[in-house]
Structures are given as C-alpha cells and as structure tokens.
Structure 1
Amino acid sequence: MKVSDLRSTLVMSAREEAVFRKFDLPRDAFHPMLLSLKIGGAWSYSAEHLKCISVMQVHTNYDERTKTGNTLEVIYLLVNPETVAKEGVVNRLEKCGNQEERVLLTRPYSITIRAERIIAARISTEKRKILVHEVGEKVVMFTGPSAFYAAHEMEHLEHIEIEGLPMWAFKYETADTEPGPV
C-alpha cells in the first residue's frame, strides 16, 4: 500500500469516527453500516444488548440524452430491529457465509421493520459525498432485493441458518432456439 493511500485511509477513519460519535450509539453498532459502505451488501451484528442490521437500496439516475448516470445508494442502519410485516413470496437463489453453494429458498417481496433508531447514509457517486442522518420514522419498508437482504439479516439476528433446495436439484435443459424473454 502506498503511503498516500494509507494516509487517506486514516483520514477517512477519523472522519467516520467524528460522524458516528454524533449519534450517541456504541461504536460497534455501526459495524454493519461500515461493512455495507466499504464492501457492499447487507450485514448484521449482534451483542448482548445490541442488535443491528444494515440494508442497502440502490437507485440509478440515468440521462437518456447524454447516456450517462450515477447511482445513489442509501444504507439503512436499523438498531434493535423487529419484523412488523412481510408480504409476498419470491423464490430465489442465495448463498451465505461458509456455505459452499447457493440454495433455492423463499423470501418476502416486501418486509416492514420497526427499529429503536434508524440511521441512513446516502452515498452520492456524482457528488462523492456520504450524508449520514437519523431518520425520523421508526419503521421502514423494503421491497424487492432490499427486502430479501433485510429478511436474511433478520434471520442472522435470530440465529436461523438458511436452508433451501440445493443447486443439484436443478436440471439442465438445452433449447434448439433462443428462449423468449425471462
């Protein structure tokens, strides 16, 4: 690692500490959010008196005229979350942690979660800014992929291991012509 990269990493870490200190939460409460920021995806953290999950929503602003765009990511940190409602059933392939391969399982299409506190980090790739703020509401609803990730992380907090139909239960087929749209 170059010295300039190390210096930049240390400056970023100091900025994170300053921002997160403003929310009066234990430092480890922010671990899921930091993992989502730095690695991507959804994460969970559980300790004796603290449970947290992070869930990402990604939006793309795309200009058809200029053929350019930017993503806006919103990472929600939910402190001591509980599931309020689930709706719909979506079959999907998923892999977690040390599992060797993905399994077919079901997730809700939408999930509503209540939390003691909800903190959001809005990441603008266009402005290269991360705006962190506390959400006034104590309830948030996720749909589609964000709901799948939220449901998965809630299972981690409940110490539920995902189980589903293994990939070897699928059958390969071939087609003489290109299949229609999915």
Structure 2
Amino acid sequence: MESQDYDKLSFDKLKKQLSFNFAENKAINDLQIKPDAFIPVLFSLKFGGDWSFKTRDLEAMAVKEKITRYNEDEGEGYTLERVTLFVNPILISTEGKVLRLEKCGSKNERELVERPFRVKLDAEDIIKAELNPKIMEISLERIKGPLNFEGSAAYGVSHEIEHLAGCEHTGKFIWEFQYKVEN
C-alpha cells in the first residue's frame, strides 16, 4: 500500500470518527444531560461492560445487558446491547445470593464474590441506550424507574454500586481453588 492510499484511508476514518463524536455531543445535548453523567454509557458502548463514574456532585452508572435475537428458520440473528444509565442511582432492594468469579479492571486477579440475584433500583434520571448491530443504530430513550434486574445485570449493578460507594468486596482468589480430576 502506498503512502497516499494510507493517508486517504486514515483521513476517511478520522472523518467518520469526528462525525460520530459530533453525533454523541448532539445526543447528550438533546437529552439535556450533564456530559459527565454520560461517560459510563460512552465507555460501555466503546469498550464493553458496566461502568460507573463519580464526582463530588454526581454519580453515574451504566449497566449492560446482551439480548440475542435469533431466527431459527433463517439461521441468523444479532445481539442487541442494552445499556441503562442511572444518574445518582438509588438501590431499593436486593434478593438472593449468588457466588461468582469476577475480575474488576482495578484488580489483577479474579475473585470469588457474593452478589444478589435480583436488584431493584431507581435514579434521578434513567436513560436506555440500545445498540443494534443489525441496523447499525444506537437509540436513546429517557425512561422511568424503578427498574428490576436479575442475573448478570444484577451482578453488574451490585458491583458498580460498590464502586460508587467507594467500598469493594474482596473474596477468595482463583488460586485458592483446588483442582479435582474426575476419572
């Protein structure tokens, strides 16, 4: 590939990225939300996973759910990503106990922790973002709470609430497990 080709490809990519960033800013303005509050959604969409962000005046948390829509007759489908943003979240209730292995970005190793199976929470403001790979669209909608989550999404809520509260559970490390070989 010649240098002119590379420059043209780089320039086209840069134009698309800038256009996308302008669209993000317009969406934030259209939603009339503080730009800092939207950071967890941006991180979840760009890097995956659940995210939280805290300042002196603001707490924001994004929880991601993956929903696969598959057509058996056609043998194809897609996985929709639903990211729910909670601005100043309020944990209402938790139910159940599930042991699971987690690895947080701030830690080097996976740990065995206990999480609730179900959670109910509300917030000052809630925004649902759905990333649909089939139509290559990110739809945004303000919704009302409280909302209920279970399973993986509930674990994510519990984990991010800990980050916002400034306390993280620690558990047993993977190297504390024992192997058992079945014959």
TM over 0.5: yes
Tell me how far apart the structure 2 counterparts of residues 113 and 100 of structure 1 sit (CA, whole Å): 29
Structure 2 unaligned spans of 5+: 1-8
Structure 1 unaligned spans of 5+: 177-182
Question: Which residue of the other structure, out of 92, 97, 120, is the alignment partner of 1:89?
Answer: 97
Q: Normalising by structure 1, what TM-score? A: 0.93
> CA deviation digits over 1:86-144, x for unaligned, max 9?
01111000111231210101101111111001001111111111111100x22111111
Quote the offset at 1:161 in angstroms: 2.1
Alignment of structure 1 residues 103-114 onto 2, 5 Å: 103-114=111-122
Could you say which residue in structure 2 is the equivalent of 1:63? 71
Tell me how far apart the structure 2 counterparts of residues 172 and 18 of structure 1 sit (CA, whole Å): 53
Task: Report the structure, 1 or 2, having the larger helix content.
Answer: 2
Number of residue pairs aligned between Structure 1 and Structure 2? 175
Q: CA RMSD in A?
A: 1.1
- Other structure's SS at 1:116 match: strand
- Other structure's SS at 2:31 match: coil
Identity of aligned residues (%): 35
Alignment of structure 1 residues 3-82 onto 2, 5 Å: 3-82=11-90
Quote the offset at 1:82 in angstroms: 1.2
Could you say which residue in structure 2 is the equivalent of 1:144? 151
Tell me how far apart the structure 2 counterparts of residues 24 and 65 of structure 1 sit (CA, whole Å): 43
Contact 1:116 1:138 in 2 (8 A): no
Alignment of structure 1 residues 130-169 onto 2, 5 Å: 130-135=138-143, 137-169=144-176
4+ aligned runs moved over 3 Å, structure 1: none
Quote the offset at 1:37 in angstroms: 0.6
Tell me how far apart the structure 2 counterparts of residues 133 and 164 of structure 1 sit (CA, whole Å): 37
